[in-house]
Amino acid sequence: MAKFIVEQSGPLRGEVDVSGSKNAVLPILAATLMAEGKCEIYDVPNLRDVDVMCRILRSMGASVEEDWETHTITTEIGSVLADEVPYELVKRMRASIFAMGPLLARTGKARIALPGGCSIGDRPIDLHNKGMRSLGARVTTDLGMVEVEAEKLQGSLIYLDFPSVGATENIMMAATMAEGLTTIENAAEEPEIVDLANFLNKMGARIKGAGTDTIRIEGVEKLRGARHTVIPDRIETGTFMVAAAITRGDVLIRNCVPDHVKPVIAKLMECGVTVNDEVEGLRVRGDIRKLVATDIKTMPYPGFPTDMQALFMALLSTVDGASTVIETVFENRFMHAAELSRMGANIKVNGRTAIVPGKNPLVGAQVISTDLRAGAALVLAGLMAKGTTEISEIYHIERGYDSFMEKLVSLGANIRRCED
Ligand code: UD1
């Protein structure tokens, strides 16, 4: 098993390019299952999760070409599609569930292994199932599989009890080929949903309102192939912003959309970090003012992203004063608190609230990356910690960051990868 060895590093300085968004490209690749014709997707990040999605597409009978020189994936789907995604693939990536909507729309049937819980909570798929039922599908769960089936999908009004990102995307994909109008109310508003809707519309879908809490989809008979450039990853953007701040550095972050990281910018500025929107990107400086505590509460977009919570916890461990962090999106997303505390952060967790006392000097330790963002948070904490930090189970990090180590090294970080 590979590890990252991180040494205390000076302030990070330089320029870094953000890759395409993981959370946008995964449903977009799944959506190509509905296209009659070739799809070309540009700015695809080179990630384990993308590799799993490509395997899913291939297991369905698609031809998938990956060109990592240009970060382009080309897909073409033959007429015969398999309709089952086995546990072997689902256990590697929960986002495998994105195959459900497209397969149901294209073939009238999908059998997907149930994803089960993970280190950040139970993660049920009841809202995905509710959406498919509303569109007229029979949904059964048996022997660890969920099966959805319909002769013809029928447009419908669907109210989501929680604005789930994945459920909004899955329902939106299925509804593109349903008969008549589908309205999703209390829909998630994340930029990745807008990106998926833009791609589907290029394929010939008729979707309006993506990015608001009401999405309207007028069903069409067929979807064609399309070309699309994936939006920049807003969580990777935020990660490098925190990396600049935590090391009291000065980093220009290129290929990002400042509008997508508004809450991150606001919270960094509350901490005393300087963020300037320059022509080439966002310049983030942690070296101008003394950094101080701030409180964080995670919320669905446009609130503060849950995916940035662990990274902020690492930053808040190094500033003056105590901060409160409240996690409202996932029920168990504080595993990194214990790992950061092993490095001296002394964080107290009570239910969904964590108190970060701040200004405890961090010291290197052996820690475990419990999930993707938790792993990245530990790497950033390691850059500030005295001595050496050894982070294991880094496959989580490699699931979701393209060239994370290389990008950090280019900014002056002292980090290396080693096989155990
Ligand atoms: C997506 C992102 C993930 C991010 C999360 C929240 C992808 C591939 N992943 O995950 O990085 O952290 O949004 O911004 O895009 N829920 C239910 N029933 C459901 C579905 C969800 O109760 O059927 C609950 C979940 O357990 C969780 C909350 O809703 O507590 C949010 O989940 P959701 O928005 O669906 O997250 P994902 O789409 O899984």
**Res 117: pLDDT:** 57
| pLDDT over 80 at 304, yes or no | yes
pLDDT value, residue 116: 62
Per-residue model confidence (pLDDT) at position 142: 86
Segment 179-207 shows an average pLDDT of 98
Q: What is the pLDDT of residue 57?
A: 95
pLDDT at 81: 79
With a 6 A CB cut-off, is 164 part of the ligand 1 pocket? yes
Closest CA to 228 of 203, 207, 210: 203
The CATH number of whichever domain residue 266 belongs to comes to 3.65.10.10
80 versus 201: the higher-pLDDT residue is 201
Tell me which of 122-136, 149-163, 258-272 is least confident.
122-136
What span, in angstroms and rounded, lies between the C-alpha atoms of 48 and 129?
Answer: 26
* 326 and 403 in a common domain: yes
Distance, CA of 212 to CA of 191 (rounded, Å)? 10
* Domain-ending residue, one of 229, 258, 286: 229
Instruction: Evaluate: CB of 373 within 6 angstroms of ligand 1.
Output: no
> Is residue 263 a contact partner of residue 303, using CB atoms and an 8 Å limit?
yes
- pLDDT at 265 (0 to 100): 98
| Whether residue 372 has its Cβ less than 6 Å from ligand 1 | no
User: Encoding tokens for residue 157?
Assistant: 């009004």
Instruction: Please report where in the chains the tokens 């070739």 appear, as a residue.
Output: 38
pLDDT at 121 over 80: no
Mutational pocket test of ligand 1: of 128, 165, 230, 332, the residue with most ligand atoms within 8 Å of the beta carbon: 165
> Does one domain contain both 237 and 136?
no
Instruction: Give the ligand 1 atom nearest the CA of 121.
Output: 26
Residue 204 CA to residue 96 CA, distance in Å, equals 24
Say whether both 82 and 138 belong to one domain.
yes
Annotated catalytic, 271? no
Ligand 1 neighbourhood includes 397 CB (under 6 angstroms):
no
Backbone angles phi, psi at 213, to 5 degrees: -85, 0
Phi, psi of 412 (to 5 degrees): 105, 10
Is the C-beta atom of 189 inside 6 A of ligand 1?
Answer: no
Buried-state track 95-111, b at ≥16 Cβ within 10 A, e below 16: bbbbbbbbbbbbbebbb
Q: What is the pLDDT of residues 21-41, one digit of tens each?
A: 999 999 999 999 999 999 999
Residues 208 and 272 in one domain: no
Does the model's pTM come out above 0.75?
yes
* Average pLDDT value for residue range 76-99: 87
Q: How far apart are CA 401 and CA 407, in angstroms?
A: 10
Torsion of CA 175, 177, 180, 181, to 10 degrees: 30
Within 247-286, residue ranges assigned H as helices are 262-270
Q: Please, which pLDDT band fits residue 236 given cuts at 50, 70 and 90? A: very high
The H or E element spanning position 405 is helix 404-410
Given this model, what pLDDT does residue 62 score? 94
Average pLDDT, the chain: 95
Domain final residue pick, 200, 229, 258: 229
3-state secondary structure of 296: strand
Query: Which of 229, 244, 272 represents a domain boundary (last residue)?
Result: 229
Ligand 1 pocket mutation pick from 123, 260, 261 by most atoms within 8 angstroms of CB: 123
Considering the domain architecture, whether residues 54 and 99 belong to the same structural domain is answered as yes
Testing ligand 1's pocket by substitution, the residue of 93, 329, 332, 333 carrying the most ligand atoms inside 8 A of its CB is 329
What share of residues in the chain are helix, strand, coil (percent, to 5)? 35, 30, 35
Identified catalytic residue from 118, 256, 271, 418:
118
**Whether residue 224 sits in one domain with residue 240:** no
Q: What residue owns the CA closest to ligand 1's atom 13?
A: 165
pLDDT value of residue 118: 64
Q: What is the mean pLDDT of residues 147-170?
A: 97
Average pLDDT of the residues in 287-291: 93
The pLDDT of residue 351 is: 94
Total number of domains in the chain: 2
Q: Are residues 106 and 205 in the same domain?
A: yes
Statement to judge: residues 173 and 260 lie in one domain: no
Are residue 213 and residue 286 in the same domain, yes or no? no
Determine whether the shortest distance from the Cβ of 309 to ligand 1 is under 6 A. Answer: no
Mean pLDDT of 203-212: 98
376 ligand 1 Cβ < 6 A: no
C-alpha 370 to ligand 1 mean position (Å): 17
Q: Is 10 in the same domain as 141?
A: no
Give how far Cα 18 sits from Cα of 4, 123, 182, 230, 351, Å.
Answer: 21, 28, 35, 12, 34
Nearest CA to ligand 1 atom 32: 164
Q: Are residues 218 and 237 in the same domain?
A: no
Same domain, 239 and 171: no
By residue range, what is the domain housing residue 66? Answer: 24-229
State residue 86's pLDDT score.
85
Q: How far is the CA of 418 from the centre of ligand 1 (A)?
A: 32
The amino acid present at 109, given as its one-letter code, is K
Distance 394 CA to ligand 1 centre (A): 22
Q: Counting atoms of ligand 1 from 1, which one is nearest the CA of 330? A: 30
